[in-house]
Chains A and B, each alone.
Chain A
């Protein structure tokens, strides 16, 4: 072993001495155990705590459903109302056409009776 290697080995030996483990501070173990106990109790408290029922969300959902149903109902009603009106107008138009047809027929018949040719 040459001089450099020898001094390296010596330096490593010195380092081993310098790097010896240090004693833990007094009471560290007790503090760790206490922290563990308190964290375990916190977990237990969270698990034991009754679940809070949040009424806000169901109420919001119900209100949304009701509103949607109301608006849809009104729209459907409006649609049927429009349909009824259209049906009535169609019937009235049909009646008017029938009346016109009868009137025209009547005039035609009268003209035929008088022997006038129909123009």
Chain B
């Protein structure tokens, strides 16, 4: 009974964290939900090994990243399937953020390699330090720092290019609008 209550409480507290990690890693709501379910079922099997709340939170983060990476690899291996392509196309339509910048960042995030993506998610969604990420993923701190730096640089350069494109498009649209308005007058 105690374990049941503990499990329910952990699901309650961490479902949005696990779901968000899976969603940002995969970009697919349905898949993210499946991953979240798998992660919590695995937690149920390992519940007796969980020491405290911090341990549970870190365990869930690590397993969520790992399951999402596995799911992406599985999806890549069956990428030739037309139905999967359609499914992926559909998944791209989804956006986490409401703002245009949020939507673009989500799109750009999907273009990054899985490891860089997971490091950025753990850094900016979970607000973990490079040291904490290194401990969690079992990687050297220097590697994490370099992944963060490269990921951020790539994201920034792509975002800036998109922004310039957006501004240029907006200006031309604006000038056309003005010209049309001038001609009618």
Contact = CB atoms under 8 A, between A and B. Distances in A.
Interface stretch (B33-41, B50-58, B129-137, B165-173): B33-41
Interface residues of B, number: 35
Interface stretch (B68-76, B96-104, B138-146, B177-185): B96-104
Given A12-B152, A36-B7, A18 B101 contact: yes
B161 to A, nearest CB: 14
Interface string B101-130: 110011000000000000011001101000
Contacts, number: 75
Nearest to A36: B44
- The range of chain A's interface size is 20 to 34
A20 B15 contact: no
B47 to A, nearest CB: 10
Secondary structure type dominating chain B contacts? helix
Contacts of B33: 25, 28, 31
Contacts of B127: 16
B16 A21 contact: yes
Nearest to B97: A18
Interface of A: 8, 11-12, 14-25, 28-29, 31-33, 35-36, 39
For the complex of A and B, list the 10 residue pairs with the smallest distance between their C-beta atoms, beginning with the closest.
A19-B124, A24-B15, A19-B125, A24-B19, A21-B20, A18-B102, A24-B16, A22-B20, A32-B40, A15-B124
Interface of B: 7-8, 11-12, 15-20, 23-24, 29, 33, 36-37, 40-41, 44, 96-97, 99, 101-102, 105-106, 120-121, 124-125, 127, 152, 155-156, 159
